[in-house]
């Protein structure tokens, strides 16, 4: 798949095909990570985080690609990995200087909030299954409260709404806790 085809696929909800195509860029990232004190699994996790970020950016329509997708993904990974190594108190030792040249200039701004989103993701994952289900149905799938109440066995729309609110509050508390304990660092979800 070409870059425009991949973008088109994501916009049209053909995520699987897009992701499979995007994984062809994984070896380059794996090489980078393995050259810089990371494992194969680190590389996979890192790359998957980059895929999630890329997907969200495309879906939200706030991505203007100034380079190829490959370059973009690689730049995201390099940034996230640099962050991760900082957490592990290491630096990129086998860094190739010429790689820096093709880094999109606005990448820092683009990734500014991703650390927080990643922490939010982590916080949400500590919720109970049912809580997460309610929130996903409401916010991601945009199911009406009435339908959610029926599917999940709540007394009615009001009960579903209250439940949703309480779950959200629990997630928010957890999010705040995590945020203050990690200091905005990137968490691998």
Q: Rule CB under 8 A: which residues touch other proteins?
A: 15-16, 19-20, 22-24, 26-27, 30-31, 34, 39-40, 43-44, 48, 51-52, 55-56, 59, 113, 116-125, 132, 135-136, 139-140, 161, 165, 168, 171-172, 175-176, 189
Q: Considering the complex, what minimum distance in angstroms separates the CB of residue 139 from other proteins?
A: 5
Angle at 165 between CA 160 and CA 167, to 5 degrees: 95
Of 101 and 140, CB closest to other proteins: 140
Q: Considering the complex, what minimum distance in angstroms separates the CB of residue 21 from other proteins?
A: 9
Whole-number Å distance between alpha carbons of 144 and 140: 11
Q: Considering the complex, what minimum distance in angstroms separates the CB of residue 101 from other proteins?
A: 25
Of 100 and 112, CB closest to other proteins: 112
Of 8 and 116, CB closest to other proteins: 116
User: Which conformational region is residue 127 in: left (phi greater than 0), alpha (psi within -120 to 50 degrees), or beta?
Assistant: beta
Q: Tokens at residue 168, please? A: 């959200």
Q: Considering the complex, what minimum distance in angstroms separates the CB of residue 108 from other proteins?
A: 18
Whole-number Å distance between alpha carbons of 140 and 80: 25
Of 17 and 103, CB closest to other proteins: 17
Whole-number Å distance between alpha carbons of 142 and 20: 27
> Of 49, 83, 55, 87, which is closest to residue 69 (Cα–Cα)?
55
């Amino acid at each position: 798949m070409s870059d425009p085809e991949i973008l088109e696929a994501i916009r049209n909800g053909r995520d699987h095909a897009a992701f499979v195509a995007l994984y062809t860029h994984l070896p380059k990232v794996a090489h980078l990570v393995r050259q810089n004190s990371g494992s194969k699994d680190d590389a996979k996790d890192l790359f998957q985080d980059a895929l999630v970020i890329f997907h969200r950016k495309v879906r939200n329509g706030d991505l203007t690609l100034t380079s190829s997708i490959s370059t973009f993904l690689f730049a995201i990974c390099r940034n996230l990995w640099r962050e991760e190594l900082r957490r592990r108190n290491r630096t990129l030792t086998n860094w190739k200087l010429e790689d820096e040249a093709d880094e999109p200039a606005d990448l820092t701004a683009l990734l500014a909030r991703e650390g927080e989103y990643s922490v939010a993701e982590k916080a949400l994952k500590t919720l109970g299954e049912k809580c997460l289900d309610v929130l996903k149905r409401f916010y991601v799938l945009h199911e009406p409260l009435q339908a959610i109440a029926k599917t999940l066995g709540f007394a009615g729309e009001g009960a579903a709404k209250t439940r949703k609110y309480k779950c959200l509050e629990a997630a928010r508390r957890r999010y705040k806790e995590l945020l203050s304990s990690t200091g905005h660092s990137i968490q691998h979800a």
